[in-house]
Amino acid sequence: MRFSLVESGRVATGAATVCRISALGTRWRVRVESWQGGDGWSGRLVFEPESSETRYMTRLGPPTLRGRSQTEVLDAVYQLPEQRLRELLHAFG
C-alpha cells in the first residue's frame, strides 16, 4: 500500500489498484485511495498513466466514494463497468 496526502488535509490510509484501462491512446492504472473518518470510510478514484512518456498527468477524482468499511469502498469501484471508468477518466481531465 502507498500512503499519500489527499484533499482537506486527510491522509490516505490505503491505496489499491483495481484495474487498468485503455483510453486516449494510453494505458491507465485505476486506483482507489481510501481513508477512515467520521462515521465510515471515504475514497476517491485516481487515474495514472502507465507510461512516463505520455503527455497526460495523473487525474484525481473528488472524494465521493463512501462506505462503512474500506472493503465497501473498494467493492463499489470493482463493480463499475470499464465504460463508466472511461467516462470518469474523461470527466476528471
pTM here is: 0.82
User: How do the domains of the chain map onto residue ranges?
Assistant: 7-91
What are 10-48's pLDDT values in tens digits? 555 789 999 999 999 999 999 999 999 888 999 999 999
Q: Quick one: which of 2, 1, 3, 11 has its CA closest to 63?
A: 11
Phi, psi of 33 (to 5 degrees): -95, 135
What are 44-70's pLDDT values in tens digits? 999 999 987 878 999 999 999 999 999
